[in-house]
Chains A and B, each alone.
Chain A
Amino acid sequence: MAVAVNEPVAAVRPVPARHFVRLKLRVLGNNFRGQKWRVAMFVTGVLFGLWFAAIGFVLFALPGLADEPTYALLVAAFGGGLVVLGWVLLPLVFFGVDETLDPARFALLPLPRRSLVTGLFAAALVSVPAFAGLLALSGLVVTAGVIGGWSAAVVQAVGVVAGVLLCVAAARAMTSAFASMLRSRRVRDLAAVLLAVLAALLGPLQLLGVAAIQDADWDRLVPVAEVIGWTPFGAPWTAGIDLAEGRTWAAPVKLLVTAVTIVALLAWWSRSLESAMLGAVSSGPASTTKATAGGPVAQLFPGAARWLRRDRFGALVARETRYWWRDARRRANLITLAVIGLFVPAMVNFGGSGFTIDEQGISVTEGSSPVVVSLSMLFVGVLAAVTLANQFGFDGSAYAANIVAGVPGQVELRARMTAFSLYVLPLVVFVSLALTVVLGEPGWLGLSAGTLLATYGAGLAVNSYLSVLGAYDLPETSNPFAMNSGAGVARSFLTLLSMVVSAVAALPMVLAAALLGDVWLWLAFPVGAAYGVGAALLGAYLAGDVLDRRQPELLTTVTPNR
């Protein structure tokens, strides 16, 4: 080459983690510039974070403040364990992770993997949920201090900080690993892992629930708490308490368990980061399975949508149906929905009031009721519908095609509901059937299906509004769990709000189950189905009008800034 650059920069200076933190803060700050509503969302998010943190703080400090040392271990192990679990599962199910610093952007920089991981980790720590968690769990420091004095408080403080580190590392490692699983289309593995994790929780959660309901012997739970205290779920939170209660040797070991877990999680994260950095562009291997005969139109319509007319509505439904499966982000949503939709009714109806504890141990009794069935179906229906809360965000700038073609808002929304329902309705039938068969109450089939349909329909209506008015852009990364910077907490709040509104809209179904008695078992299905379909159509009609007026604005909000 004629042009020779002098020489490569000789010694590369190591990049300290604080650079990543500063970069994240700068990106966050620039996002707020001139965007008043973004600032407002963020402030709302911070306030909610503080509110939950305060409640958590009081709960965790309660055993100390009330001077009830017997409960200290229970609160630390179970409460702390739940927090870790939340950090692991919630990003997968609802909220995603804040990916202000997309790892793929660092792919070209000569960064050693170690400094990249520590840097991204440090940046991930700077977030509202992490601070809120730290604040809430600091309550344990008070507890440990009251029981065991200064030394216990100091050890507990170290434990709490390490525990929050563990939470963040776990969230990052899990989402990153699941993302690469989704990319490689190992969907069944993913679903299996999720189911296994949830199923493993079933036992402890039920014990806790039973004890709470029956106000039974709390001492029975102490052995369980001790065991949890030795796992990564409880180790960081119980170290100081152990010291306070005189098990001095346990504290350093538990801190060590925590440290080893953090390192292991970071190592795991670092491995899947590699694939995230390289695989940012492709969506995975193209499906070249069958060279379908037939013209382009025939190819567009998948099997489940064959019955549709070959017109505008049909094309929209067909495209959406294909997208729910082909787009990794949407597929992730479908899978979690299926897993949770099966798990929650099972847990609520076979557990909850279903177990009793007596002298012989644990025994199972029939404990479900029409009201409990209705409530669990309400949850599934709400959860299914909230998947559509940011349906236009999934499309991103591709939505421009529909605007250019002049698709009316009502057709658009009805088609999207129909396509999603092609996946949800079989789930509804299956969940209802499975539940009633296993409960041995086939008469409740109408009840559970009816409630589910009513909630789902009402939820669709609420979420079509939300998807038009509260849409936001999703980053174009390979991580289907990635959220855009900043407003994560506020977004989650919006999602929760929509779930509450949908649930309230469907509450009459539960009330009817409670008040009407056996007549309702017959009426629930027709009434629920009519209510659901009616609500969904009304929602599409009203929200479609809003959409007609807001199409260009909606496109702007869902287009990722580059």
Chain B
Amino acid sequence: MTGEQPALALRGLAKRFDSKVAVAGVDLDVPAGSFYGLLGPNGAGKTTTLSMAVGLLRPDAGSATVLGHDVWADPVRAKQLLGVMPDGVRLFDRLSGAELLAYHGLLRGMDPAVVDRRAAELLDVLALGDAGRTMVVDYSAGMKKKIGLACALLHGPRLLVLDEPFEAVDPVSGALIRDILQRYVTGGGTVVFSSHVMEVVERLCTHVAILAAGVIKRVGTLTEVRGDRSLEQVFVEVVGGRTATGEELAWLSQ
């Protein structure tokens, strides 16, 4: 790891769908070894930004670089360094957990023996071994997140990009995922993940960026962004939320 080179660098990424601008020029530098939280309300463009950063969605403008390798110009090298868990994307869910891991490992060109060893270990650590031959489509939401994470980790990437890893996950699985990610960062890896759960971000992240309406509103280390307030206060202020007055929806209470 070269200390200077960012693990992920986004420059002027932009995307519009029909007439709606989803992402309007995002610049972001994710330092190597950081635990980076991308915050934003629903529809802020988090998923669009991350999809463009990992090569799943072609940007209208801008570039994405993974440890010095352009995702769109030099995809082979960039994708080797990347582990990705997209959100709202199906897995090949008509395979069992073990089959899915084997598939991902071989797809990455790994040695079958290594795939077998790591897959068994991951299934064991993530408590998915009991599921046996159950197909992933029949997994619970939390189990699906865990197997998705396992698929992203299997080939030992330098950079993990996770879209909403804690959504719809129960506290036990959530704690497990947090543990694994923390260990991964301690071991020299870099994690970028999107979320709108403030507690998790505050607990885990070294760096934070707040995205709203397709633009980065705040960016920096956690302490820089947060100042002496709570992250939630900053977030609501930046995004511009509406507070209830108590007048509306009167029919809900009697």
- A interface, CB within 8 angstroms of B: 3-6, 34, 282-283, 286-288, 290-292, 295-300, 310-312, 314-316, 318-319, 322-323, 326-327, 395-398, 400-407, 552-553, 555-556, 559, 562
Contact = CB atoms under 8 A, between A and B. Distances in A.
Contact of B138 (A282, A395, A559, A562): A282
Contacts of B238: none
Contact of A297 (B90, B95, B112, B138): B112
Nearest to A281: B137
A327 B94 contact: yes
Given A315-B107, A407-B107, A326 B94 contact: yes
A67 to B, nearest CB: 57
B55 A552 contact: yes
Contact of A310 (B99, B112, B251): B112
Contacts of A4: 254
A398 B92 contact: yes
18 contacts: A282-B137, A291-B133, A295-B120, A297-B115, A298-B116, A300-B99, A315-B102, A315-B105, A323-B92, A397-B90, A398-B89, A401-B92, A402-B107, A404-B55, A404-B56, A404-B86, A553-B58, A559-B89
A300 B108 CA distance: 15
Contact of B94 (A283, A288, A403, A559): A283
A404 B54 contact: yes
B18 to A, nearest CB: 5
B108 to A, nearest CB: 6
User: Could you tell me the dominant secondary structure of chain A's interface residues?
Assistant: helix
Given A34-B19, A398-B91, A404-B86, 20 more contacts: A3-B252, A5-B252, A282-B137, A288-B133, A288-B134, A295-B115, A297-B102, A297-B105, A297-B106, A297-B115, A298-B116, A315-B106, A319-B95, A322-B99, A395-B92, A398-B92, A402-B107, A552-B58, A555-B56, A559-B89
Interface string B98-114: 11011111111100100
Contact of B88 (A290, A300, A323, A397): A397
A446 B99 CA distance: 39
Contact of A556 (B57, B91, B119): B57
B58 A406 contact: no
A41 B190 CA distance: 46
B63 interface: no
B151 interface: yes
B16 to A, nearest CB: 12
Instruction: Please list the 3 inter-chain residue pairs (A to B) with the smallest Cβ-Cβ separation, ordered nearest first.
Output: A315-B106, A295-B116, A296-B98
B79 A404 contact: yes
Interface string B35-68: 0000000000000000000111110000000000
A353 B183 CA distance: 75
B206 interface: no
A34 B19 CA distance: 9
Contacts of A319: 92, 95, 99, 103
A296 B79 contact: no
Contacts of B112: 297, 310
A81 to B, nearest CB: 39
Contacts of A299: 96, 98-99, 102, 133
Nearest to B59: A552
Nearest to A402: B107
A283 B251 contact: no
B93 interface: yes
B73 interface: no
Contacts, number: 138
Contacts of B251: 5-6
Given A282-B138, A311-B109, A319-B95, A401 B104 contact: yes
B135 interface: yes
A7 to B, nearest CB: 10
Contacts of A326: 94, 135
Contacts of B115: 295-297
Contacts of A288: 132-134
Nearest to A325: B94
B82 interface: yes
B245 interface: no
B193 to A, nearest CB: 16
Contacts of B156: none
Nearest to A311: B106
Interface string B120-144: 1001000000001111011000000
Given A312-B109, A397-B89, A403 B55 contact: yes
Nearest to B76: A406
Contact of B134 (A5, A286, A298): A286
Given A3-B252, A323-B94, A312 B57 contact: no
- Of residues B123, B137, B151, which shows the largest number of chain A Cβ atoms within 10 Å of its Cβ? B137
Contact of B90 (A6, A398, A406): A398
B75 interface: yes
B176 to A, nearest CB: 20
B253 interface: yes
B92 A286 contact: no
Contacts of A283: 94, 135, 137-138
Contacts of A556: 57
Nearest to A34: B18
A396 to B, nearest CB: 6
A301 to B, nearest CB: 8
A319 to B, nearest CB: 5
Contacts of B252: 3, 5
B101 to A, nearest CB: 5
- Of residues A291, A298, A401, A407, which shows the largest number of chain B Cβ atoms within 10 Å of its Cβ? A401
B56 A403 contact: yes
A34 B16 CA distance: 13
Given A6-B254, A287-B133, A295-B119, A552 B95 contact: no
B80 interface: yes
Contacts of A291: 132-133
Nearest to A560: B90
A127 B141 CA distance: 37
B102 A406 contact: no
Nearest to A398: B90
Interface string B140-155: 0000000000010000
B79 A406 contact: yes
A401 B107 contact: yes
Contacts of B96: 299
A312 B106 contact: yes
A407 B107 CA distance: 7
B128 to A, nearest CB: 11
Contacts of B137: 282-283
Nearest to A5: B252
B56 A296 contact: no
A66 B54 CA distance: 68
Contacts of B80: 406
Nearest to B115: A297
Given A291-B132, A319-B92, A552-B56, A3 B253 contact: yes
A318 B56 contact: no
B162 interface: no
Nearest to B137: A283
B95 A300 contact: yes
